[in-house]
Amino acid sequence: MIKEYDYDLSAHNTFRMKVKCACYIKYDSIEELESLPWDELPKPIKHIGEGSNLLFTKDFPGTVLHSAIRHVKYVDLGLDEVPVIAGAGVKWDALAAELCGHGLWGAENLSLIPGEVGAAAVQNIGAYGVEFKDIVKGVTCYDLLERRRCKFTVEQCGYGYRESMFKEADGRYIVTSVLLRLSRVPRPRLEYKGLADIDASSPMAVRQAVIDIRRSKLPDPEDIGSAGSFFKNPVISAVDFLRVVEAAGTDKVPHYVLDGGMIKVPAAWLIDSCGLKGETEGGAAVYDKQPLVIINASGSATPSDILELERRVVATVHARYGITLHPEVEHI
């Protein structure tokens, strides 16, 4: 276990904000987590993963917890379905690579998403037509309120588009491990337009295609600080969509009709069509290859640069289309 006070979080958030927390604890097992002196820890308590989907808006006065529970177990009994248990601190993409390498289907479309397994379960990470909820069967947690271990089925996790019961519970449940269900039987999911013509002969081949698409659109986390998509894609009514079409002055507004008749419009398109690609504020910028992403362009952007750029993007899109963009990135 590592426990530090007045700790610099720069290496724990992919936006690379230079912020501190009063206390930082990295624990290696559920037993260590359970035995923390909860009443004495600086409050509030915030659990993070790799810090790839959050923005610290200032120094954090409480305790930041981080899991190093890193076991991965699976038994291949020759059945079509292979159950996999993974600790919350396992790097998601390392697990995805391992599963694809074993010829197991399910994780390939979620390749190269930064972050750790625990955060993947909280956020319901998604890309290229697949969400975490499609491969998870159950989630094991530590309940901070009742101070005991508990388990949830996937139905109990309340998953939606980047939503879950864990997010709603606002930190009450700390994910310790997940149970996934992978498939031996080929199950390529190629509905996303960029995947239509790829080699889908193995999970590894699909993984490689997904990696190529991500590398062409999204900033390389090694080079440029960001937290991936900064905004959610808005889901709007048909009437609001008509207003967008009218304001855009074209019928060619990209959109996806969802079950139930609501319409998802790419926030990237809304931002792009407002001419905001490459827009800057201090050291922060709207990424020019994928305007859904805000980047720490200078390497020394401050939280207020990012917040001001966010405010401007939201205001500009709202003024033109009457649609309010909501951040996907958690603000702390």
For binding to ligand EPU (CB under 6 A), which residues are involved? 127-128, 192, 217-218, 228-229, 232-233, 254, 266, 268-269, 272, 290-292, 328
Given 52, 116, 131, 162, which residue is catalytic?
162
In whole angstroms, the minimum distance from the beta carbon of 95 to ligand EPU comes to 18
Output 52 or 176, the one with its CB closest to ligand EPU: 52
Q: Which residue is nearest to ligand EPU (CB)?
A: 228
162 assigned to active site: yes
Given 52, 164, 229, 273, which residue is catalytic?
229
How far are the Cα atoms of 83, 106, 175 from residue 74, in angstroms, in the given order?
A: 6, 14, 19
8 A C-beta contact, residue 21 and residue 147: no
| C-beta neighbour count of 38 within 10 angstroms | 13
Output 254 or 299, the one with its CB closest to ligand EPU: 254
| C-beta neighbour count of 155 within 10 angstroms | 9
d(CA 264, CA 243): 14
In whole angstroms, the minimum distance from the beta carbon of 124 to ligand EPU comes to 10
d(CA 298, CA 124): 30
Output 221 or 283, the one with its CB closest to ligand EPU: 221
In whole angstroms, the minimum distance from the beta carbon of 209 to ligand EPU comes to 12
201 assigned to active site: no
8 A C-beta contact, residue 165 and residue 200: no
31 assigned to active site: no
- Opening angle at CA 150, ends 144 and 155, nearest 5: 115
Long-range CB contacts (< 8 A, 24+ apart) of 148-153? 149/30, 149/34, 149/176
In whole angstroms, the minimum distance from the beta carbon of 147 to ligand EPU comes to 32
Output 104 or 125, the one with its CB closest to ligand EPU: 125
List active site positions. 162, 229, 328
